[in-house]
Each structure stands twice: as C-alpha cells, then as structure tokens.
C-alpha cells in the first residue's frame, strides 16, 4: 500500500483554517450522535517514528468533548501486562458504548516495531495476527467503529526530523538507537509494514494511510477520515436493522449427546472421599506454590445445572490454596458497565496474571446457554460466539495458561431432590429462586444447547470435563483430581 502514497500533498495556512472550522464542528456533532446512539469508537495512530502521531492526537481531540474520550499512550508492556496475554491490555481498554478511545500506537506495535527490533519471535507472528484479527472482528461485529490511521513520511524527512530533535538538549532523548536503526534500514521496515497491511487490511477494519510530510494536510485528512467513518456508522445505526433472535434448536435425535454419556451412578463412600480429599488437597497446596514460582496462570471455569454442585467443588479446591494466589469470580447477569462493553470484556478483565489462579463460578459460556435460549442475543451473535470463545481461550493458552472447563452434570430427579432439600432447609432457602424452577422447565432446550457448546468448544488445549455429579463426593474428588493431574503433567513437560 505504501508505494501508492503521494507524499507531496500539502495545505496552505489559509485553506487549512477554513477547512478546519467546518471539520471541527462536524466532528463535535458526530461525537454527540455516537454517544446518543451508543456507538463505541476506537481510533489508532500508527506510523513512522517522528511522523507526528503525538501532535496529531492533540489536534484531533481539540474538537472533542473531553468527557467522552480517553487517550491511551501505548508504551512497552509493564510488568503486569507482560504477565497476561498480549492483547489483554487492549481488551481491558476497549471503550464503553458511546465513548471514544484513542490509541497513540496500539496492538500493532508488536507486529511492527517490536518485530523489526527482533523482540517478537517470528514463530509467534502468525498467532499474533490471529489474535489481532479476532480482536477487531469481535469488536466490529459488536458495533464498535475501528479507525486505523498510519502516518507516512519518507526516509529523508524522518532523518531530518531526528536530526532536529537531537540538536536540542530537551528533545534529544526522544530519538533512540532503535529509531536510528529503523531509519537506516527503512526499506526492510517498510516490508514489515506491508506484510502487516496485507494481513490486517480488512473490510471491517481497513487501514487509512495519512500523508504526513505536511502537518496541516495530515490533520485535515485525519479529521476527514474519522468523520467519514463516524458518519457511515451513524447512518447505519439510524437504520436500526435488527438481526433475528432465534435459539436455533433442532429437536432432532441426532444431536451430539456428550451429556448422556455421563455415568451418574458413579459414587464414593464417605471413607474413600475423606481419604482422597486429604491427599489431593495436600498435593494441590504444593502444586499451587510451584505454579506461582514458575509463573504459570490457571483458568478454571465452572458451569452446570442449577444445584449441580459447583459451589461445593470450588470450595474443596480453594481450601487447598493460598488465598493470595487465587480469586473466585462469581458471574451473574452483567451490570450496567459490563453491558456497555462487548460480552467477553468483563472476563478478559478478570483473567489471572502469570502464577495466579482464576476460578469462575459460571462463565463466558452464558452467551451460548442462557443468552441463546432466552433471546438475550441474536442468532448471529451466539453462532459467532463459539469461535470467539475459542479464540479467547487460545490467546490464554498461547500466553502459557492452563485452561480447564468443568460441567457439573446431574439428572433431573437429582435436581428435584436438591431443590426440595434447599427449600426445606431455612439456611439454604436463599439458594433457590423462581428462576431456578423456570430454568428447570426448559431442561431439554438447555441440554441441546449445552451439548453443542461442549462439542464446539472442547479443544485439546482447553478441554471441557463433564463431571458426574449425582454423588457429591465423587464429583468433588474428580474435579480436584483432574486439576492436580493436569498441573502435574504441565510441570513435568516444562522441566
């Protein structure tokens, strides 16, 4: 793409002033419209060093209401960020509906500057581009506008600007050895950028090249590009086209039946249980310390029928662990802030850093269960979700995490018995609500959705474990045992 850019383009002062008066008014108005229509906007500034990214960010926000945007300057990863998947710091910074997030360099740093500098291993590049495409696809599918700007200057201009900066004591520090290296090998750096365009110039998030030799021309073009993108999004949102809501159940008997395979007669005696529990918890305590020392993050998700025994199993796990090293995240209906982001955002935020354990009592799989069945999302949304979830878990695994998902399986009779017991026990009555009874009526529909979920999202790197749960002793020991075995295997592999 770079070769087709005409770097001679300019605007004189007079023309610039006239244009900008109009453009700034337009952009201000569009920001208000986006807020009203709840459109989230992300604008990224990428490009060559000394092309004027910082200056242009400053120019762009002149027209914006400061209560409606934030600017993120993307530097080297912090210690905290390095202990998470590479896209984590960007997922957590995605804007709420109606807000604008501006990035002064972005997620492209890793596949551009860091790649040129040799800091990004070539064997990771394909994975990195997958993560980036998945990120942009998921967000734009969810209604976010992503405007990607790339500021272009040529080799000579860059050299000139570097020299000018270096002459002045107060700005000399801004030119690094790496900057000069990239200027020296401009052609090679250009090749890396072309590869990046080829892999990420998509219809949902296209690149916009900004001719940045002339500051005024660049400013006016950036305004125009952003205005065009927001105008299109506003028009689209005004049409208010709604996708179909449809749980897409087939009710035929050829469905996958992972659940029906579970042998619910499995059980343990009290003695067996007590003995196993003690042994396994002792092991887990030791392993938990080892995980911490080796900086391996662990993600454990729990799903299952109401009264399926999630809470009991989680309790037996956490009893064995140092409370400074784990967090249990209970997941209920999303709150206002969560609802104003893409559905995976709240889970990204809760992902553990290296060496820590995050346990989820109910998870992101709500998208393909309750949201699918109750019509809280459209058919297209839950159909897309299988891949979106697999992509997220792949990002976690790529960053070194252990990811396990447990489905606590009981049969309908056992659930009835547990519901009854809860109602009769004054201390447990709070655990049972009208909603539980309503969900129970939809047992068959849930079963179909759960079976499809288990099939499509059980991967070798992030498997589902169906836990036979009619006998609580058996279920708790199976969960503990699985966690212990997977960690042991992993620690052995890494030695």
- Closest approach, Cβ 211 to its own copies, in A, equals 9
Residue among 113 and 385 whose Cβ is closer to its own copies: 385
Nearest CB to its own copies, comparing residues 425 and 461: 461
Instruction: Decide if 262 contacts 466 (C-beta within 8 A).
Output: yes
The residue (of 258 and 369) whose beta carbon lies closer to its own copies is 258
In the complex, which residues of this chain contact its own copies (CB under 8 A)? 1, 3-6, 8-9, 126, 191, 194-195, 197-198, 201-203, 206, 209, 220-221, 224-225, 228, 250, 252, 254, 256-258, 260-261, 380, 383-384, 386-387, 390, 394, 451, 454-456, 458-461, 463-464
Closest by CA to 477, choosing from 309, 323, 325, is 309
Least distance CB 47 / its own copies (angstroms)? 15
Tell me the helices (H) and strands (E) count for the chain, helix number first. Answer: 21, 10
CB closer to its own copies out of 11 and 359: 11
Strand partners, 135: none
Q: Which residues, listed in sequence order, are joined to residue 304 by a DSSP beta bridge?
A: 408
* 349 or 489: CB nearest its own copies: 489
C-beta of 294 vs 387, nearer to its own copies: 387
Nearer to its own copies, 14 or 434 (CB): 14
Interatomic CA distance for residues 283 and 178, integer angstroms: 48
Please state the closest distance from residue 78 (CB atom) to its own copies, in A.
30
Nearer to its own copies, 66 or 460 (CB): 460
CA 459 distance to own-chain centroid: 18
Taking residue 14's Cβ as centre, other Cβ atoms within 10 Å add up to 8
55 in Cβ contact with 34 (< 8 Å): no
Q: Locate 257 and state its tokens.
A: 């039946």
Instruction: Please state the closest distance from residue 143 (CB atom) to its own copies, in A.
Output: 16
Q: At its nearest, how many Å lie between its own copies and the CB of residue 213?
A: 14
Pairwise CA distance, residues 323 & 357, whole Å: 10
* Identity of the residue, 67 or 187, whose beta carbon is nearer to its own copies in the bound complex: 187
Structure-token pair, residue 104: 């002064």
* Spatial separation of the C-alpha atoms in residues 441 and 373, rounded to whole Å: 12
Q: How far apart are alpha carbons 174 and 163 in whole angstroms? A: 11
Q: How far is CA 471 from CA 299, 357, 364, 381, in A?
A: 25, 26, 27, 36
CB of 254 to its own copies, least distance (A): 4
Angle at which helix 379-398 crosses helix 443-457, to 10 degrees, equals 40
Task: Report the nearest approach of its own copies to the CB of residue 306 (Å).
Answer: 22
CB of 276 to its own copies, least distance (A): 24
Cα–Cα distance for residue pair 330/327, rounded to 1 Å: 10
CA distance 394 to 398: 6
Q: Which is nearer to its own copies, 227 or 296 (CB)?
A: 227
For the bound state, the minimum distance from the C-beta of residue 424 to its own copies, rounded and expressed in Å, comes to: 36
Three-state DSSP class for 298?
strand
- Packing angle between helix 412-424 and helix 434-441, nearest 10 degrees? 170
* Shortest spacing between CB 23 and its own copies, in angstroms: 10
Residue ranges with strand state E in 153-222: 207-211
């Amino acid at each position: 793409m770079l070769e087709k850019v005409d770097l001679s383009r300019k605007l004189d002062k007079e023309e610039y002033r006239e244009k900008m008066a109009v453009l700034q008014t337009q952009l201000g108005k569009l920001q208000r419209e986006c807020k009203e229509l709840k459109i989230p906007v992300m604008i990224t500034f990428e490009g060559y060093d000394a092309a004027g990214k910082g200056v242009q960010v400053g120019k762009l926000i002149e027209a914006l209401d400061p209560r409606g945007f934030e600017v993120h300057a993307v530097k080297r990863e912090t210690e905290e960020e390095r202990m998470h998947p590479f896209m984590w710091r960007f997922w957590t910074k995605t804007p709420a509906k109606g807000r604008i997030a501006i990035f002064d360099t972005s997620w492209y740093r890793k596949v551009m500057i860091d790649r040129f500098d040799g800091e990004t291993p070539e064997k990771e590049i394909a994975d990195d581009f997958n993560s980036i495409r998945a990120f942009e696809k998921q967000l734009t599918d969810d209604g976010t506008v992503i405007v990607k700007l790339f500021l272009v200057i040529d080799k000579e201009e860059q050299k000139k600007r570097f020299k000018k900066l270096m002459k002045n004591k107060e700005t000399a520090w801004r030119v690094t050895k790496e900057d000069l290296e990239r200027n020296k090998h401009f052609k090679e750096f250009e090749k890396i950028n072309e590869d990046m365009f080829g892999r990420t110039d998509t219809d949902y998030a296209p690149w916009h090249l900004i001719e940045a030799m002339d500051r005024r021309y660049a400013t006016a073009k950036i305004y125009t590009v952003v205005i065009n993108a927001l105008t299109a999004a506003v028009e689209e949102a005004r049409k208010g086209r709604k996708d179909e809501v449809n749980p897409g159940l087939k009710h035929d008997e050829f469905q996958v039946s992972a659940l029906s395979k579970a042998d619910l007669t499995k059980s343990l005696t009290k003695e067996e249980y007590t003995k196993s529990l003690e042994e396994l918890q002792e092991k887990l305590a030791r392993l938990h310390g080892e995980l911490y020392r080796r900086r391996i993050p662990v993600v454990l998700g729990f799903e299952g029928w109401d009264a399926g025994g999630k809470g009991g199993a989680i309790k037996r796990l956490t009893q064995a662990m140092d409370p400074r090293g784990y967090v249990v995240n209970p997941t209920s209906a999303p709150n206002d802030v969560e609802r104003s982001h893409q559905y995976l955002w709240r889970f990204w935020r809760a992902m553990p850093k290296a060496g820590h354990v995050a346990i989820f009592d109910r998870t992101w799989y709500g998208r393909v269960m309750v949201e699918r069945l109750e019509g809280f999302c459209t058919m297209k949304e839950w159909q897309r979700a299988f891949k979106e979830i697999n992509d997220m878990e792949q990002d976690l695994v790529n960053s070194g995490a252990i990811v396990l998902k447990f489905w606590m399986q009981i049969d309908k009779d056992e659930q009835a018995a547990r519901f009854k017991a809860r109602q009769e026990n004054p201390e447990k009555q709070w655990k049972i609500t009208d909603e539980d009874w309503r969900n129970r009526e939809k047992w068959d529909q849930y079963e179909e959705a759960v079976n499809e979920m288990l099939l499509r999202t059980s991967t070798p790197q992030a498997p589902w474990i169906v836990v036979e749960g009619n006998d609580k002793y058996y279920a708790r020991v199976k969960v503990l045992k699985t966690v212990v075995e997977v960690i042991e295997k992993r620690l052995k592999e890494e030695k």
